[in-house]
């Protein structure tokens, strides 16, 4: 077996164009030699959300520049690579296609092997970029378009325990930012405002806690924030900085409470069939939220479970996690060719019965 492997990863499934190079020797922590991320926030700012056509065009225009920059930062040539990994779904079809076409072109031109990666598997394996992970682990994958509890049994083996029945928390953070005049992406802006807010001023709901299992809902919470905001505005026709801070703190606290309680339930479900929970992991853009990380860490401590989360720069969309997942799949024997297709919908759990609606990034797989 080849020992050290060096992979280029490409990411273009939503509104971040990424190229990164990851090198790994078995038994060691991977080295991220470069990690280029070009966000598209400014391009979509006038539209109140990600415009798929604008995103796809920007990815197509910027991917090769990002690849050049990733090779330059890593100080290596294309010929030093062992393979190319690319997000092949789920996501916005135009963006995913841009990445897949770019990767195919690079692979055909260089003769390097090609590996298609499920974007969600990239998130799910991302804690391994900074912490040695072992399987199985219990994971909360929580981002702009997705929210689900998974048992990760291996690099390509996922079992879904439950998830959101409507919006993903990241989507809700973005909406709350729009409602309160904070900038996009909403998550970091709401988190910052919440630091100076009173989480108890507004009574906001903790949806679905009365229902057993670990399914979640965030749509009603979003609407409750809208109503709370409107009561403040109608009282004196303005929304003050302190009001925004208090709404942000109340909302973030409600999300923390729901995720913490549903994590307790996911642990209990896991323990019905297994003697212990070896590791609880959180990943995805919302895992960058310090209050949410702290709440989950507390749940882990309560249950005597090891807790792991990716380094901050690998929580939101990035290509290092795609290079890493592709490298691991390649080592496991996975190979794709020019027939690789873009899959806008691609649930991680192959046994998953039905898809549940559509989010910012496509189906809530």
Chain residues in the site for ligand KG4 (CB under 6 A): 14, 143-145, 170-171, 173-174, 185-188, 191, 284-286, 288-289, 316-317, 361
Handedness of CA 287, 292, 294, 298 (dihedral sign): negative
Choose between 207 and 362: whose C-beta lies nearer to Zn ion: 362
Show the DSSP H helices in 111-197 as ranges: 119-125, 169-179, 186-194
163, interface contact from Zn ion, ligand KG4, none, CB < 5-8 Å by kind? none
Of 249 and 288, nearer to Zn ion (C-beta) is 288
CA distance 6 to 264: 38
- Binding track over 246-285 against Zn ion, x by CB under 5 A: ----------------------------------------
Toward ligand KG4, which CB reaches closer, 148 or 316?
Answer: 316
148: contact with Zn ion by CB under 5 A: no
Dihedral sign of CA atoms 3, 69, 131, 115 in order? negative
From the list 300, 261, 257, 301, the residue with the least C-alpha distance to 282 is 300
Element (H, E) at 157: strand 157-163
Q: Is 143 in the site for Zn ion (CB under 5 A)?
A: yes
Nearer to ligand KG4, 200 or 290 (CB): 290
Among 317, 321, 328, 330, binds Zn ion (CB under 5 A): 317
CA gap 56, 263 in Å, rounded: 35
Interacting stretch for Zn ion, rule CB under 5 A, among 174-182, 245-253, 309-317, 324-332? 309-317
Cα 45 to Cα 341: distance, rounded to the nearest angstrom:
30
- Of 97-105, 142-150, 269-277, 351-359, the segment contacting Zn ion by CB under 5 A is 142-150
Q: Which residues have C-beta within 8 Å of that of residue 188, sequence separation ≥ 6?
A: 288
Identity of the residue, 83 or 99, whose beta carbon is nearer to ligand KG4 in the bound complex: 99
Minimum distance from residue 119 beta carbon to Zn ion (Å): 6
Q: With contact defined as beta carbons under 8 Å apart, do 317 and 16 qualify?
A: yes
Minimal distance, residue 304 CB to ligand KG4, in Å: 27
For Zn ion, the closer of residues 166 and 317 by Cβ is 317
CA distances from residue 60 to 37, 49, 63, 95, 185 in whole angstroms, order as listed: 14, 19, 6, 8, 22
User: Which of Zn ion, ligand KG4, none lies near 316, with the C-beta cut-off 5 to 8 A by kind?
Assistant: ligand KG4
186 makes contact, choosing from Zn ion, ligand KG4, none, with CB < 5 to 8 Å by partner type, with: ligand KG4
CA 268 to chain centre: 24
Work out what residue 149 binds among Zn ion, ligand KG4, none; the CB cut-off runs from 5 to 8 Å by kind.
Answer: none
Q: Closer CB to ligand KG4, residue 171 or residue 215?
A: 171
Site size toward Zn ion, by CB under 5 A: 2
* Tokens, residue 83: 């393979």
Query: Which phi and psi (to 5°) does residue 299 adopt?
Result: -60, -40
Which CB, 171 or 243, lies closer to Zn ion? Answer: 171
Least CB distance to ligand KG4 at residue 236 (A):
29
Rounded to a whole number of angstroms, the minimum distance from the CB of residue 252 to ligand KG4 is 8
H/E element, 31: strand 31-39
* Beta strands per DSSP E along 211-311: 279-283, 306-308
CA dihedral in degrees (168, 325, 344, 81; nearest 10)?
140
Task: Tell me the closest approach of the beta carbon of residue 27 to Zn ion, in angstroms.
Answer: 28
Please give the span between the terminal C-alpha atoms of the chain, in angstroms, as a whole number. Answer: 34
Contact of residue 30 among ligand KG4, Zn ion, none (CB under 5-8 Å per partner type): none
Where along the sequence are the contacts to Zn ion (CB under 5 A)? 143, 317
């Amino acid at each position: 077996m080849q020992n050290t492997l060096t992979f280029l990863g490409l990411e273009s499934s939503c509104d971040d164009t990424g190229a990164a190079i990851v090198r790994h020797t078995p038994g060691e922590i991977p080295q991220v030699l470069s990690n280029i991320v070009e966000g598209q926030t400014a391009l979509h700012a006038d539209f109140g959300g990600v415009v798929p056509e604008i995103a796809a065009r920007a990815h197509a225009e910027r991917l090769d520049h990002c690849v050049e920059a990733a090779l330059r930062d890593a100080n290596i040539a294309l010929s030093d690579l062992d393979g190319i990994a690319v997000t092949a779904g789920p996501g916005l079809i135009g963006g995913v296609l841009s990445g897949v076409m770019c990767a195919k072109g690079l692979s055909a031109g260089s003769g390097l092997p090609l590996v298609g990666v499920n974007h969600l598997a990239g998130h799910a394996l991302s804690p391994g970029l900074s912490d040695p992970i072992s399987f199985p682990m219990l994971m909360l994958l929580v981002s702009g378009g997705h929210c689900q509890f998974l048992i990760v049994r291996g690099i390509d083996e996922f079992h879904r325990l439950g998830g959101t029945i409507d919006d993903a928390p990241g989507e809700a953070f973005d909406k709350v930012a729009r409602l309160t005049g904070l900038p996009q992406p909403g998550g970091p802006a709401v988190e910052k405002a919440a630091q100076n807010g009173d989480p108890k001023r507004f009574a906001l709901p903790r949806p679905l806690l009365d229902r057993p299992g670990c399914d979640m809902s965030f749509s009603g919470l979003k609407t409750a924030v809208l109503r709370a905001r409107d009561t403040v505005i109608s009282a004196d026709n303005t929304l003050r900085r302190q009001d925004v801070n208090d709404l942000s703190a109340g909302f973030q606290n409600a999300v923390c409470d729901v995720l913490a309680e549903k994590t307790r339930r996911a642990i209990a479900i896991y323990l019905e069939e297994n003697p212990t929970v070896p590791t609880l992991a959180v990943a995805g853009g919302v895992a960058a939220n310090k209050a949410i990380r702290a709440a989950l860490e507390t749940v882990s401590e309560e249950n005597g479970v090891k807790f792991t989360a990716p380094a901050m720069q690998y929580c939101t969309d990035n290509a290092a996690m795609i290079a890493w997942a592709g490298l691991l799949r390649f080592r496991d024997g996975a190979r794709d060719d020019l027939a690789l297709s873009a899959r806008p919908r691609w649930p991680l759990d192959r046994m998953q019965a039905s898809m549940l609606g559509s989010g910012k990034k496509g189906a809530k797989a």
